[in-house]
Every structure is written in structure tokens, then in C-alpha cells.
Structure 1
Amino acid sequence: MARILVTEDDDSVRAFVARALSLDGHQIATAEDGADALDRLQAEAGAFDLLLSDIRMPMMDGIALAMEVAPQFPELTILLMTGYADQRERADGLDRIVHDVVPKPFSLAEIRTAVGGALAAGRNRAPEAA
């Protein structure tokens, strides 16, 4: 299964998503905000299949995080989530680096489907071995 970094400042949402995805067999790491996620990604040389991040967070928001890590780790698939319509609109111009934006609140089935789609897209765009 995949290695996923879940970045969310709300403890209950972070725990819910992490538990749901780990039950699906994924290896989950968590971060409390964008700065924490950036530190984790850099420390592990981007060794994740998916970055699943909230958009609206303190320290560094999900859009700033995506813009920072996309050039550093171009193979990393990025999926954002938000409960704020204006934040979703901010992410619309990031189509080249963000797979999708999942609206909150979401159900267990919705987040699983979104993650599955993002992982499949990431596998499909991965460069072929020489």
C-alpha cells in the first residue's frame, strides 16, 4: 500500500483520516501544520506517495506547503482538503501541482475514494523505468 503524510491542524480530523487510511493498509505519518509537514518531508527526502493536507492551517497553509514541496519532490502526489469555499477557489490555479481538493466535511467513503484516485493518478504519471 501507500505511504501517506496527513497534514491537518484539527486533532480529531487528523486522527479520523489517519485511522481510516491505516485501516486500508496504508502507512500513515501525521503533521500538525504545513511547517511540520515540510520539515518531515525534507527530513525523509520526500519518501511519501501522497501528501494529504488541509488548506487552512496556522504557520504554513496547505497551498504554501504544496507550492514549496512540488518543485522539491515532483513525484509526490498532493491532495488538499478544506471546509472553506474561498480556500478551494485559491487552489483552483494549482492544477499542475495539486491532484484535487476534497471538500469538508467528508465521509469515510469520500476520503477513501479521493485518496484512491490521487494514488492511482500518481502511479499513472510516474516516469517509466529506463
Structure 2
Amino acid sequence: MQITRSTTATAKGPADWFTGDVYIDAVAAAPAPSRVTANLVHFMPGARTHWHRHPLSQTVFVTEGVGLCQRRGGPVEVIRPGDRVLFEADEEHWHGATPDRLMVHLAINEADDDHPVVHWLTPVTDEEYTAPPAS
């Protein structure tokens, strides 16, 4: 058993990964052979990731607020607490808060020596972000 005391400060999400104010708390980063990392990500209203992809997929579990997500070529989807979203390996996507609500999710990722956690792409445009969600 290993207990890691909370000594890591909340990190501000970098502008080359996010639009708006995003804050990240590390939750899990077990040493090899584990491949899993997890972060609690807080998106302030209007904040969102840039387009990105994960070579070994990503699961996000919404814990608070109301969010949006989209895979490249698909409709914008509304996500709420308790919703779990699986983004397939290498599926280009984005996720974030709605314009008027914050959203918090647990992001669960895998990486290994041959696969980084994420490849960051271009910012989500305002037009993409404000597209009407699927019904």
C-alpha cells in the first residue's frame, strides 16, 4: 500500500491545451507497469480543451456541472454528472464546460513507452463550440 499525501498544487491548464480557465488536480499516476493516469479537471464556464486525441483512448466521468463534448465530424453532446464518455483510441475530440455552467470531470488515460497520453491539436473555434447540441 502507498499513500500519497496531497502536496501537489492545483495546476492551471496551459493556454496551448485549453481555451478559458481550466484547473487540474492529479489523482493517480502509478509507476510502471501501470499505464493509468487520472486527473480531476475543473472547467470554468466557457472553458474547453483544444481538439486532441489519445493513442490509447480516454474516459471522462463527469462529477459536477454541465459540459459539452464532440468527436470530429459528430454532433456536440451535452454531458452531466454521472455521465461517462469513452473517446476511442486516436479519436479526435474536445470537451469542456457550457457557456454558463462550470463542469468538472475525472479524466482517465493510459500511456506506455510506445504511446504518449495525448496529442494536442488546434483550438476549438467559437463556431464549433456554439454549434447546437444533439437533441
TM-score norm. by structure 2 comes to 0.29
Q: Which has a greater percent of strand? A: 2
Which structure is higher in helix share?
1
State the TM-score, normalizing by the size of structure 1: 0.30
